[in-house]
Amino acid sequence: MREIIPIRGATRLPGAPEFVLGLINLRGMVVTVVDLVRRFGGAPADPVDGSIIVVDFGTRAVGLAVDSMRDVQGVRPRTVETGATATAGLPVSVIRGMADTTEGLAILLDVGAVLRQVMSLAEGES
C-alpha cells in the first residue's frame, strides 16, 4: 500500500468496464481507479465518504475505491490462515487468507490477483 486518499471524481475511460471508475491525477501521477465493491457485484463505492487505497502494481500505481477504511494493521505472515473458501461473495482466487486482528477476523485480499483479473477483463481477455 502506498497511501489512502479521500475518494474523488475520476475521468471515465470510454469502453472500460463499469468497475473501472477512470483516471485521477495524484500529484502529477496518473492513477487508474477500480471500484472493488462494484467489481465483485456490489453497489458503487460511496462517492462522499469512500476512500481510495493507492497501491503499486508493477510499474504503475492503481487506486482501489472502497466504502470505508477503519484501520490499517500489520499482519505477521505466520498468523495468516490460508486455504480460505469463498467468503463474503469473493472468489477464492482473490483471497490470500484470513487473520485475527484487534478488530476481529479479517479477510486478506490478494491485491495482485484482483488487479490481474481487472486488467485482463478491461483488456477483453475474459
pLDDT band at 25 (very low <50, low <70, confident <90, very high): very high
Q: Please state the rounded mean pLDDT for residues 106-125.
A: 78
Identify which of 117, 119, 122, 115 has the alpha carbon closest to the alpha carbon of residue 57.
Answer: 115
Q: Tell me the three cell numbers of residue 121.
A: 477483463
Res 4: pLDDT? 93
Stronger pLDDT, 78 or 24, i.e. the higher one:
24
- Encode pLDDT of 34-58 as tens digits: 998 888 888 888 778 889 999 999 8
- Encode pLDDT of 77-96 as tens digits: 777 887 756 566 677 888 88
Walk me through the domains of the chain, giving residue ranges and CATH numbers: 3-69+77-122 (2.40.50.180)
